[in-house]
Amino acid sequence: MHLEFLVEELSMRSVLDNLLPRMVINNHTYRVITYQGKTDLLRKLPSTLKAYSKWIDKDFKIIVVVDLDKDDCHKLKERIEKIAIDSNLIPKSQGIKDFNIMIRIAMKELESWLLGDPDAIKSAYPKIGNIKKSDKLNNPDAIDNTWEYFEKIFQSKGYFKTGLRKIEVANNISSFMEPIKNKSKSFNVFWTGIVEILK
């Protein structure tokens, strides 16, 4: 099976490049294609998916991963699924065994997925220590302005005084992430979907 990931930015690519090799084995392959942000990905998606639809086979799955940001989750997913259907692709949500595209949304940003694993944050950045337990961290997907919340944690411990370096942080933390421990529901939906594809 080959998995083709379409993602909006390099920080997501860093996370996937750290996590996927742990499970994409036994003749499975993957590739991550990065866009210049969510707007760029969504603008190019119709032509990209139409190109895939001309040759895609049953051993090839496309996974589109975007941040929710301030969009409505259902409307965003419906928009992407409509593009897929208009391109003659079959979204996983249709319940058809031989689907060829899966849409996953990070709630509300990639940083929510990183916050879902406090132990990985501590391993990557020891000065942070044990992140204070709170209802927010039990449900990182519910945190508004995740980027700013994340940056505040780091700067309070002396890291990134001139501003959070998103790609660097994503790469460092994800290298320690344990997917089965993650508290982000949207990460778990994403990871479970990948596991199911590769069964």
pLDDT given at position 135: 57
pLDDT per residue of the chain (199 residues) written in tens, 0 to 9 = 999 999 999 999 999 999 998 877 778 899 999 999 999 999 999 999 999 999 999 999 999 999 999 899 999 999 999 999 999 999 999 989 899 999 999 998 999 999 999 999 999 999 987 776 665 678 899 988 888 888 888 998 899 989 889 999 999 999 999 999 999 999 999 999 999 998 8
Q: What CATH number has the domain bearing residue 23? A: 3.40.50
Residues 42 and 136 in one domain: no
Residues 117 and 142 in one domain: yes
Residues 11 and 103 in one domain: yes
Residues 99 and 8 in one domain: yes
Domain count, the chain: 2
Residues 128 and 85 in one domain: no
Residue 111's contacts (CB-CB under 8 Å, 6 or more residues apart) are 146, 147, 149, 150
Range of the domain at 137: 111-181
pLDDT given at position 147: 86
- pTM, full prediction: 0.93
Residues 85 and 120 in one domain: no
DSSP string of 92-145? GGG--TT--EEEEEESS-HHHHHHT-HHHHHHH-GGG-SPPP-HHHHSGGG-SS
